[in-house]
Amino acid sequence: MRFITFIARRVVHSIFVLLGLSIVIFIISRIMPGNPARMAVGPRAPQYVIDELSRQMHLDEPLHVQYYYWLRDALHGDLGMSLVTRRPVADDMKEFFPATLELTLFAGFIMAGGGIFIGILSARHKDKWIDNLLRIVSYLGVVTPSFIFAIFFLLLFGMALNWMPTMGRLSPGVSPPPTITGLITVDSLLSGNLTAFFDALWHLILPGIALAMGGLAQESRITRSTMSDNLTKDYIASARSLGIPEGVIMRKFLLKPSLIPTISILGLDFAGTMANAFLVEVIFNWPGSSRYGINTMLRKDLNAIAGVVLTMGVVFIVVNIVVDIVVGLLDPRIRLAPQRGE
Amino acid sequence: MRTLRVLSAMMVLALLVGLVASCASPAATPTPTPRPAAEATPTPPPPPEKTILRITFSWPTYIDPAVGSDFSSSSSLCNLYDTLVFPTTEGGVVPNVAESWETSADGLTWTFHLEKGIKFHNGSELMASDVAFSMNRMLEIGEGYAYVFLGTVESATALDDYTVQFKLAKPSGIFLISLVRLYIADEEQVMANVVTPGPYGDKGDYGKEWLLTHDAGSGPYKVKEFPLEEYLLMEKYDGWFGTFHPNAPDEAKFIATTEPATIRTLMSRKELEISDQWQPVEALEALGKIEGVDVAAFPSLTEFYYMVHTKKAPTDDIHFRRAMAWAFDYDAAVALEWPGTQQSQGPVPALCAGHNPDVFVFHRDLDKAREELAQSQYADQLDQYPVEVHWITDVPAEEKWALLFQANMADIGIDVEVVGTPWTAVVEETADIETSPHIVTIYVSTDFPEAGSLLKVRYHSDAAPTWSQNEWLLDDELDAMIDDSLSTVDQKERYAKYYALQDYIMDLCPSLFLYDQIQKHAYQSAYVDFPAARGEVIPLMGLNMFAARIGVTGP
Amino acid sequence: MTVQAKSLALPKSKIMENLGRSWYKFSRNPMSIVGLCTVLLVVFLAVFAPLVAPYPRHAGKFVDFANASLPPCRRYLFGTDVMGRDILSRIFFGFRFSLTMGVVVLSLVVPPGVTLGLVAGYNQGTWIETVIMRITDIFLAVPPLVLALAICSVLTPNLFNAMIAVSLMWWPWYTRLVYGLASTLRNEFFVNSAEVLGASKFHIIFKEILPNCISPIFTKMSLDMAWVILLGASLSFVGLGVQPPKPGLGTMVAGGRNYLPEQWWIAVFPALAIVVVVLGFNLLGDGLRDMLAAEEV
């Protein structure tokens, strides 16, 4: 029961935060100097067309009135019109967000799987040469920004060696699967199109790994340090002395508690990855909502900027709640702990 | 530990399978297709694969004929739609949808007779009512190329199924040529897809939303797929009334990227036929080195201007402007461009119809520059009056000339600040006389090959709050001269007036005229027949990407 | 618990001994030394750039098209870019922008962020705490880069506005950090005693609670230098930070990207410079954390 209350409080808290975020975003997108209506209709349109569009966009009304319209529309799923693509921002997000989601999820798998794997490896062979090597590599992974990895990968694997594709989600000759989820890998598996599946995977590798590097390094470091801490704990020693095989110890006693900090960080890293996707998508010309976000930011497309940031906020908050739930399930200590203020 | 081993084994296995599968799939690695033998072979040749013409463009692209007007939009529109007349390589027009036409004696009424049996992509016939509809729709929406007709065209009516009549408010020497920008849309299809409510009363949104991603045209190609931010895919329309090149591509794909790295990769894998024209010189040189790839370079009636604000200190002083014009190193500027580029001769590109061959041209002369500067009212306070130059970040190479300009001006003591500005910001700031910078550097193309139309878009007061003019001349005499020349129906008279206009403008020295741009595209010369590369250049923006005339026989 | 407040009255030999001990803890990890040296090198190059750079004029208004796009050679150690400017010299001047970004942002962010955290932590259970922490939560709801990009896109792109944008969304991290510390300390014995003795709120917050938070704050600041510099480089890379022709590191990478892979040096060397700066501050930060954390045992 306590657990449910815990989650419920988080959700209410998050809704409040989202509301506040929407206000901040709205203010940001409206204090823009200049007239966005003019930019929308083209350089040589007559004044009456500009005036009409301004009226439609409620640009001449006071700020709080504009906010009211904007929020009301947003709750109905209408985020306004993008000045760049000239169609509803909601449609743009529906088209582009799955691509970013797919890339981020792929990077997430690499981060989680690779990070944990490397972390365990490092912990088992602590202070030997392999551990030191991995530690250096993961350190570099943490400090190097993803866009630099992206450029290097592009240069090396895409251009110099010409192994990997450098743009887009599918090769030109491959026909895309029908859109069910928007994730090409999932859709192609669902419709039995294996060529598309592998081709999509092939295109995901370079940007996915570039994106995952930071998180991967982070995960491996945390896993390593938690594992090596836990390895010295008393209960492990007693388990060993009882004759329980090493493998069972690893799986039953070590994995769960060691993974807790890893998973909490994973949530944060996932959001960080979404943010880094902005730069990586630009470099690899990945048709995702982040590249769309950069384009619209450079072109000062108010509604689109607001839409992208809001989406990111929602995703981040949802991920945090999910992580809290998962960690709560894994670690009884957290969900049974007294709440703040009790 | 065992779980770990199993996990890692699975990962490695998955990766291996993925590698093998993608090596097997034809898309990942480029395999050279064997050229089919010319002589008859005992086994029948395999059915011809679909040919596709892929071109990269700077985005966005609007395929609504009343909305699109930039390079990528114009290129798309000419493939999707037909026009009453079609431009020739000499700068004139030939009958296209219109078989013939007459004008009234006062030049105010134009009557066009249409060819019969032209079909739209959905099968219905192109009638005069569609032509009238297209003109009226363009005038009402007021975007894109509408400015060409607004103020000139009063009405468009269909007299019968194949005759359409335009009534003009005043005579125009360029009306006929301007019809190359009236793209004829199917009234039925457009009106069947309007969304109500909309800003056009009972016409709803006038079909604008539908026309974002669909076409209602009769042109040689029709829209197959259009994911807005990525590419436009068109397929051949076999019912087109015109004549295709024998090897015209079955599909045409316009791709939304100008990244040199991407273009390099696509070209070398033969996944791109023609590149965009914004590649930096260094990238083009590298592209030219790829086997089978050449660079097509042809004049494009585009001039590179340094538009100088004539109403803002210190550039409001004519001596100051003349000093800048004398101090700039035009030869060095041209040297940074593709070989063969020429310094501009006046405000109109040299190859444009109506260009004045005797117009005055500046060259670098520091003595004359200092002389002029000494006569300016700001001569003693140069450090208090820095000049701001805005170059457009969407074309990174523009920074080079901006920095060259800065160095040149330093030679005579003028302080220059160089500011990279994105295109949208430039459009915004040039709309207001206060926010316009001292100098903005823009390539301006003629919308159609007449000096007059370029001069109007560049120096007429109507155009002052647009991006095509930063000078803010606001000169009534000049306005009258320009309007008068455009109304002159007799060509010789008109050209004489153009000459006078160019002399007048050079006296005012409102801009620096750097060079006539050579349009450069890298293309797969091994299997693409690109008419512009052979010298058959249509001097109209976008028309050199008319896919119906381009031959593709590979890769 | 109340050790810190007395340290100012120590005799000189004690101070030297403390410093010596700190240095020992710091230098135990060789990587920390590497970090320190790297940071000192970067600072040195940035401060003395006009004297140390082989071609200091190249960082300002300069073109030399005859020597454009030269690969690394004896004359130009890192090669030249498309305007003929020496990349090595420009990198030195680029360090200036990076360091300015870090220093200015942290100076703007730490005082208000820490103060808010202290106030919120001290006034637990009141509306003051709720308001402050809710606002903090709002700003922390979105990943930093996203919010920074959004704010930057609204303003004119330049370094100054980039610093404003990053400052606007960076302060909550300090508030949250200090809030956590302050709310724990608030209930400690020494705070209660001070209250009973009639100390003013100001004294308690700044003279009793704050000194015990200094170590974590300081550690976070040194690590943050790295992240803020990275954020600045990312913003410049996208086009919203340092504008060309100024030699910002991210700006140079973005510019050089157009000329890959032939003229790879134009993008690669500035990219490596970014990595070096960020790595240096990270190592230094880790070392400081080791040095300061051990104190609390």
C153–A300 C-beta distance less than 8 A: yes
Give the bridge partners for B239, in sequence order. none
pLDDT band at residue B8 under the 50/70/90 scheme: very low
User: Taking CB atoms and an 8 Å cutoff, what residues of chain B touch A43?
Assistant: 427, 466-468
Q: In this structure, what are the phi and psi dihedrals at residue B521, rounded to the nearest 5 degrees?
A: -130, 135
Q: How many CB atoms lie within 10 A of CB B265?
A: 20
C151–A28 CB contact, under 8 Å? yes
pLDDT of residue B493 exceeding 80: yes
Task: Write the pLDDT tens digit of every residue in A180-207.
Answer: 777 777 777 777 777 778 888 888 888 8
B130 φ, ψ (degrees, to nearest 5): -65, -40
- Most confidently predicted of B316-325, C136-145, C181-190, C205-214: B316-325
Which two three-digit tokens encode residue C218? 């300081």
Residue B427 has pLDDT above 70, yes or no: yes
Report whether pLDDT(B53) > 90.
yes
pLDDT tens profile B253-305 = 998 887 777 788 788 888 899 999 888 888 898 899 988 999 999 888 889 99
Contact C191, C182 (CB under 8 A): no
Domains of chain B, by residue range, sit at 82-203, 219-292+525-552, 299-517
- The band of B365, judged by pLDDT with boundaries at 50, 70 and 90, is very high
* H or E element in which residue B140 lies: helix B128-141
- With CA atoms as reference, the chain A residue closest to C279 would be A143
A203: nearest Cα among A167, A150, A163: A167
Calpha distance C96→C89 (Å, rounded): 12
Residue B29: pLDDT above 50? no
| pLDDT above 90: percentage of residues in chain A | 0
Can you identify the CATH homologous superfamily of domain B82-203?
Answer: Dipeptide-binding Protein; Domain 1 (3.90.76.10)
ipTM beyond cut 0.85 = no
Decide if pLDDT at B28 tops 60.
no
pLDDT of amino acid B514: 93
A168 vs B441, residue with greater confidence: B441
Backbone angles phi, psi at B511, to 5 degrees: -145, 165
Average pLDDT for residues B490-500, to the nearest whole number? 91
Q: Is A192 exposed, middle or buried (0-12, 13-18, 19+ CB in 10 A)?
A: exposed
Hey, are the CB atoms on C141 and A18 less than 8 Å from each other?
yes
Closest CA of chain A from C65, distance in Å: 26
Is the pLDDT reported for residue B26 higher than 50? no
The gap between the terminal CA atoms of chain A, to the nearest Å, is 16
Q: What does the DSSP 8-state code read for residue B452?
A: H
Residue A302: the pLDDT is 76
Measured torsion, CA atoms of residues C69, C73, C78, C81, in degrees rounded to the nearest 10: -10
Q: Each residue of B134-174: pLDDT tens digit?
A: 999 999 888 778 878 887 899 999 999 999 999 999 888 88
- The three-state secondary structure class of B112 is strand
CB contact under 8 A, A84 and B22: no
Q: Which fold has domain B219-292+525-552?
A: D-Maltodextrin-Binding Protein; domain 2 (3.40.190)
Per-residue pLDDT tens for C55-113?
A: 888 888 888 888 888 899 888 999 999 889 999 999 999 999 999 999 999 999 999 99
Residue B438, pLDDT score = 94
Cβ(B240)–Cβ(B214) below 8 Å = no
Chain C residue numbers with beta carbons less than 8 Å from the beta carbon of A271 are 143
The per-type count for chain A, helices as H runs and strands as E runs, is: 16, 0
CB B214, CB B223: distance < 8 Å: yes
For residue C108, what pLDDT is reported? 93
Is A45:B188 a contact under the CB 8 Å cutoff?
Answer: no
Query: Which DSSP category does B547 fall into?
Result: G
CATH classification code of B299-517:
3.10.105.10
Q: How far is CA B361 from the centre of its chain?
A: 26
CB–CB of C275 and A312 under 8 A? no
**What pLDDT is recorded for position B21?**
38
> pLDDT-derived band of residue B19, with 50, 70 and 90 as boundaries?
very low
Interchain contact B418–C (C-beta under 8 A)? yes
User: Residue B22 pLDDT more than 50?
Assistant: no
Split at pLDDT 50, 70, 90, the class of B32 is very low
Note whether C138 contacts A160, CB cutoff 8 Å: no
Q: Which of B260, B336, B419 sits opposite C258 (nearest CB)?
A: B260
Residues of chain A with Cβ-Cβ distance to B63 below 8 Å are none
Please name the member of B282, B335, B416 whose beta carbon is closest to the beta carbon of C69: B282
Query: Cβ of B313 under 8 Å from any chain C Cβ?
Result: no
The pair of three-digit structure tokens given for residue B449, joined into one six-digit string: 């090959």
Q: Which two tokens stand for residue B325?
A: 């014009």
Q: Which residue has the higher pLDDT, B405 or B379?
A: B405
Can you tell me the mean pLDDT for A39-52?
63
Give the pLDDT mean for B332-359.
90
Average pLDDT for chain B: 85
What pLDDT does residue C293 have? 64
Please tell me the predicted confidence (pLDDT) of residue B408: 92
Confidence of residue B25 (pLDDT cuts 50, 70, 90): very low
Asked whether residue B3 carries a pLDDT value surpassing 70, the answer given is no
Instruction: Name the CA dihedral angle for B498, B501, B503, B505, rounded to a multiple of 10 degrees.
Output: -140
CA triple B197-B202-B206, angle to 5 deg: 75
The residue type found at A339 is Q
Q: Name the residue with higher pLDDT: B16 or A14.
A: A14
The 3 state secondary structure assigned to chain C is CCCHHHHHHCCHHHHHHHHHHHHHHHHCCHHHHHHHHHHHHHHHHHHCHHHHCCCHHHHCCCCCHHHCCCCCCCCCCCCECCCCCEHHHHHHHHHHHHHHHHHHHHHHHHHHHHHHHHHHHHCCCCHHHHHHHHHHHHHHCCCHHHHHHHHHHHCCCCHHHHHHHHHHHHHHHHHHHHHHHHHHHCCCHHHHHHHHCCCCHHHHHHHHHHHHCHHHHHHHHHHHHHHHHHHHHHHHHHCCCCCCCCCCHHHHHHHHHCCCCCCCHHHHHHHHHHHHHHHHHHHHHHHHHHHHHHHHC
pLDDT digits (tens, 9 = 90+) for B85-101: 998 888 788 999 999 99
pLDDT at A335: 55
For residue B258, give the chain C residue with the closest CA.
C258
pLDDT for C8 equals: 55
Contact assignment for B428 to A250 by CB distance below 8 Å: no
3-state helix, strand, coil in chain B (%, to 5): 35, 20, 45
Q: What number is the average pLDDT over the span A114-141? A: 78
What is the distance between the alpha carbons of residues A61 and A41, in angstroms, rounded to a whole number?
Answer: 20
Cβ–Cβ below 8 Å for B424 and A42: no
Q: What pLDDT is recorded for position B480?
A: 92
Alpha-carbon distance of C60 to C83, in angstroms, equals 12
Share of chain A above pLDDT 70, in %: 78
| Model pLDDT, residue C123 | 79
Q: B528: closest CA among B293, B264, B298?
A: B293
- Dist. CA B408–CA A175, nearest whole Å: 54
Considering Cα of A294, then A298, then A303, then A306, what sign does the dihedral take? Answer: positive
Match 């808010």 to its residue by tokens. C116
| Rounded Cα distance, A146 and C237, in Å | 12
Q: Do C263 and B282 touch (CB under 8 A)?
A: yes
**Contact present, A285 and B257 (Cβ < 8 Å):** yes
CA–CA distance, A67 with B147 (Å, rounded to integer): 35
pLDDT of residue B511: 93
Q: Which residues of A99-114 are buried (b: 16+ CB within 10 A; e: fewer)?
A: bbbbbbbbbbebbbbb
Q: How many CA atoms lie within 13 A of A213 on its CB side?
A: 25
Between strands B153-160 and B163-168, the pairing is: antiparallel
Give the per-residue pLDDT at C3. Answer: 46
Domains in chain A (CATH in brackets) are: 89-340 (1.10.3720.10)
- Say what the pLDDT of residue A46 is: 61
* Cβ atoms C64, C81 nearer than 8 A: no
Q: Nearest-CA neighbor of C86 among C59, C50, C48? A: C59
Contacts of A340 (CB under 8 A, 6+ apart): none
| Identity of the residue in A152, A297, A317 whose CB atom sits nearest the CB atom of C153 | A297
Compute the distance between CA of residue B516 and CA of residue B534 in angstroms, rounded to an integer. Answer: 19
pLDDT (tens digit per residue) in B210-235? 898 899 999 999 999 888 777 899 99
DSSP H or E segment with residue B158: strand B153-160
Q: How many CA atoms lie within 13 A of C285 on its CB side?
A: 19
The H or E element spanning position B528 is strand B528-529
